Amino acid sequence: MANAYITALTGGLGNQMFQYAVGRALSARHGAPLLLDIRGLADDPLRRFALSPLRISAVLATDAEMPRALGPIGRRLHRLPRWLTGNRRFVEQGFAFDPAIAALRPPVHLAGNWQSEKYFADQSDLIRAEFQLREPLTADRQAIASEIADRPMVSVHVRRGDYASNPATNAYHGTCEPDWYARAQQTIEQRVDAPTYMVFSDDPDWARANLPFLGGALFVEPSTDGRDEQDMHLMARCHHHIIANSSFSWWGAWLNPRADKVVIAPQQWFRSGKHDTRDLLPKDWIRL
C-alpha cells in the first residue's frame, strides 16, 4: 500500500460522509494522500458510491493499493500486523469516539462508521468545503432554496422507509414518533421567533397525517432522480433543524455553517441500545 490513508466506504450517503471525513481529517493533519476503498459497496445491492457529486479530493484506491483480505477472522481484528496485510488495519471497536485515531500515521486502512464530529472537528472548514456540490441545484430544488432564503426556516426530517417497514431494522434503529416531533417543535419555538417548517421525508403522506401541529409546513416531495446530496444541501440551507435518528439529516444540520443555528436531535439514536452514542451529537445540539 502507498504511504497513504485508505478509508473503507459502506452504507448510504450519510455513512460514507462520516467515513470520508475521518480519513480526510487524518490526511490533512499529517500531509498524506487519502484513498477510498469501495469494495464493500460492490456487494450491497441497495448502495452505491455516493460521494462523486461532492467536491471531494480523494481518489479510489487501486487493487494494488488495497490491503490484502484475510477473511472474516481478519476483518474482526482491531489491528493486524503489517507483515500480514501490507498495511496497518484499524477496525472501529465501538461507537464512542476513539482519541487514538487522530494520531495514526500512514499507511493505515480504516474500517468503521466513525460517527462523531470529534474525528474531524479541527478540519471542519475543509470538510464543509469538500462536501459542497459540484453541480448547481436542479431547477425544482432551486425554487425550494429560494423559499428558504428569506425566512427562519426549520428543516424537519422524518425518516421512515425500512426503519418503519422492516421489523428487524425497526427493532435496531426505531423511528421518531409524532409525540417526539411535537416536543421538538415546542423546543424550537422557545428559541426561534415565528419559524416556518420545511419537512423532508421519504414518506410525506405519513408526515402530513401525523404531524398536523406543524401548521403551514412546506413539504418537500421526495425525488426519484437519485440526487440525495442535493436534498441534503437544501436541509443545510435552512436556518434551524429538527433531525431524525439518521446520518442523512445529521449531515444536513452539520453542513449549515450558521453559528446561531438550533439543532434538535433524538437523545436515543438507536432503539436497540447496543451502542454508546455519547459522542455522536455535537455538544451544542439539543438532545431530546
The position carrying cell 422492516 is 166
More confident residue, 168 or 178: 178
Nearest to 181 by CA among 213, 150, 203, 208: 213
Q: Are 211 and 154 in contact (CB under 8 A)?
A: no
Query: Which pLDDT band holds residue 170 (cuts at 50, 70, 90)?
Result: low
Of 130, 147, 167, the one marking the end of a domain is: 130
Predicted confidence (pLDDT) at residue 140 exceeds the cutoff of 50: yes
Per-residue pLDDT tens over the stretch 69-116: 544 434 444 444 433 344 488 999 999 999 999 999 999 999 999 999
Number of domains in the chain: 2
Of 130, 160, 180, the one marking the end of a domain is: 130
Range of the domain at 125: 5-130
Are 40 and 118 within one domain? yes
Length of the chain: 288
CATH, residue 202: 3.40.50.11350
Nearest to 221 by CA among 198, 247, 244, 242: 198
Q: Residue 192's pLDDT is what?
A: 95
List phi, psi (to 5°) of 95: -80, -25
Which runs of consecutive H residues, i.e. helices, occur in the chain?
Answer: 13-30, 39-42, 71-76, 82-85, 124-130, 139-149, 162-165, 167-173, 178-189, 204-210, 228-237, 247-254
Are 151 and 55 within one domain? no
3-state secondary structure 128-153: HHHCCECCCCCHHHHHHHHHHHCCCE
List phi, psi (to 5°) of 156: -125, 120
Are 91 and 223 within one domain? no
Per-residue pLDDT tens over the stretch 264-282: 999 999 877 788 999 999 9
Are 18 and 106 within one domain? yes
